Amino acid sequence: MGSGFCLCYRKPVIQGASQVVTDRPIAVAGAGAIGCFVGGMLAVADRRVALLVRPRVRTEIERFGLRLTDFDGSEKKLDAGRVALSEDPAIFHSAGIVLVTVKSADTSDVADQIAQHAPRDAVIVSLQNGVGNVGVLQERLGGRRVLAGMVPFNVVAKGEGRFHRSTSGDITVGEDADNTAAALSVPGLTMRASRDIAGVQWGKLIINLNNALSALSDMPLAAQLANRDWRKLFADQMAEGLATLKAAGIAPASATPIPPNWMPTLLRLPDMIFNVILGRTMKIDPEARSSMWQDLKQGRKTEIDYLQGAVIALAENNKVDVPLMRRIAALVKDAETAGKGPPGLSPQQIRGVA
């Protein structure tokens, strides 16, 4: 669920957080790569953590424990007993906060599980890709407090209980009276509050348009972004997205000092200049891959409908032409149907000129 590419910088943790998170467990609804990393980092900081997991993940953690590695070379290990593991959503029964980390297509189902099992006063925080998940959660959870969040980094499941964060950045959570973002911040996993979380989500979605290019290229993110032809392709797709948001009256917010509207120009710069700017604003592991690449690799349905699909729908409503984005979405759908993993296309093949 993390992004393929994000230029991020760190801000200090807000003080004065609510105590609800320290008094009751933090539950992670759908602990895949992002959920296990976030939940694990909270557990390292001695927070009480409960993970709703699939049988395969539960078996893996029970056998190997949790091993959390980072792009900076740091490593943290947890015995399996440091977190509660279950395949039963009844594990939400005493949660003070529920972090939702499932794929967007699974939001309705997990919302129903939360409604049935979590306390009514539990705070629900969506740490998912896309911009529509909070609305789905609010509709299914009628009256419960739901906060939007944005995870700028990506996490790769390496097997044997190892979850590796391969890009940098701090999580953003919608501002609330209880200061939930600060309550969830721990060393190595900063969460900061935003008054414009909708703008932040749209800004992240525009950046996440690169997830599809990463998946179609079958290249590590660092190698892809080091290639100007790939960056120009990303820039052209981003320009379509920004034009769509402008027509719809949506102002995307940036988690960096670089305004979103400057990003296409930045991406089109010569390699030497771009690499200097990237190196000053972001850390990225040489083997980092996007979540959409991981989905194609493992034969899973991608979130293309919730990324490119969301912009395409908005473009249709506002009579904006987005031909490149439509082609990219179609190519990802083709790769899903073929079931052969990332197709390894070139920028020219994606543009349809080769």
Q: Which structure tokens are listed for 140?
A: 């299914």
Instruction: Choose the final residue of a domain: 195, 215, 250.
Output: 195
Percent of the chain predicted with pLDDT > 70:
91
CB 188 within 8 A of CB 72: no
pLDDT at 12 over 90: no
> Residue 70 pairs with which residues in a beta bridge?
165
Residue 5 within a domain: no
Structure confidence at residue 14 (pLDDT) = 34
Confidence of residue 274 (pLDDT cuts 50, 70, 90): confident
* DSSP 8-state symbol, 191: E
From 134, 165, 195, the end of a domain falls on 195
Would residue 37 count as lying in a domain?
yes
Indicate the helix (H) or strand (E) that contains 224: helix 221-225
Q: Compute CA 324 distance to the chain's CA centroid, rounded to the nearest angstrom.
A: 23
> For position 215, which CATH number holds?
1.10.1040.10
Instruction: State whether 205 and 116 are in the same domain.
Output: no
Query: Nearest 5 degrees, angle CA 133-CA 220-CA 151?
Result: 25
pLDDT of residue 22: 56
Query: In the predicted model, what is the mean pLDDT of residues 71-95?
Result: 95
Whether residue 107 sits in one domain with residue 41: yes
216 and 299 part of one domain:
yes
Residue 17 confidence (pLDDT) above 50: no
How many domains is the chain built from? 2
DSSP conformation class of 174: E
User: Is the same domain home to 225 and 262?
Assistant: yes
Count other Cβ atoms within 10 Å, centred on residue 215: 30
Query: Average of pLDDT values for 122-137?
Result: 96
Structural domain contains residue 277: yes
pLDDT at 301: 94
Q: Binning pLDDT at 50, 70 and 90, where does residue 3 land?
A: very low
Q: Is residue 330 part of a domain?
A: yes
Q: Are residues 101 and 212 in the same domain?
A: no
Alpha-carbon distance of 16 to 19, in angstroms, equals: 9
Point out the domain boundary residue: 195, 218, 242: 195
The sheet with strand 84-86 has its strands ordered as: 84-86, 49-52, 26-29, 97-100, 123-126, 146-150, 171-174, 191-194
Q: Is the pLDDT of residue 24 over 90?
A: yes
For residue 158, what is the domain's CATH number? 3.40.50.720
Lowest pLDDT segment from 98-112, 197-211, 269-283, 315-329 = 269-283
Q: What is the pLDDT of residues 174-191, one digit of tens each?
A: 999 999 999 999 999 999
> What residues have CB less than 8 Å from 46, skipping those under 6 apart?
none
CB 86 within 8 A of CB 53: yes
**Residue 77 counted as domain residue:** yes
In three-state secondary structure terms, 153 is: coil
- With H, G, I as helix, E, B as strand and everything else as coil, classify residue 270: coil
Instruction: Give me the pLDDT at residue 45, please.
Output: 96
Same domain, 87 and 117: yes
Pair (188, 215) in one structural domain: no
Residues 166 and 29 both lie in one domain: yes
Are both 39 and 170 inside the same structural domain? Answer: yes
Are residues 80 and 126 located together in one domain of the fold?
Answer: yes
Please tell me whether residues 164 and 220 are part of one structural domain: no
Would residue 28 count as lying in a domain?
Answer: yes
Q: What is the pLDDT of residue 167?
A: 87
Range of the domain at 298: 201-351
Residues 125 and 239 in one domain: no
pLDDT by residue (tens digit) across 208-262? 999 999 999 999 998 999 999 999 999 999 999 999 999 999 999 986 667 889 9
12 located within any domain: no
Mean pLDDT of 184-199: 96
Q: Is the dihedral of CA 333, 339, 343, 349 positive or negative?
A: negative
Mean pLDDT of the chain: 91
Contact 145, 118 (CB under 8 A): no
What's the whole-number mean pLDDT along residues 190-198?
Answer: 96
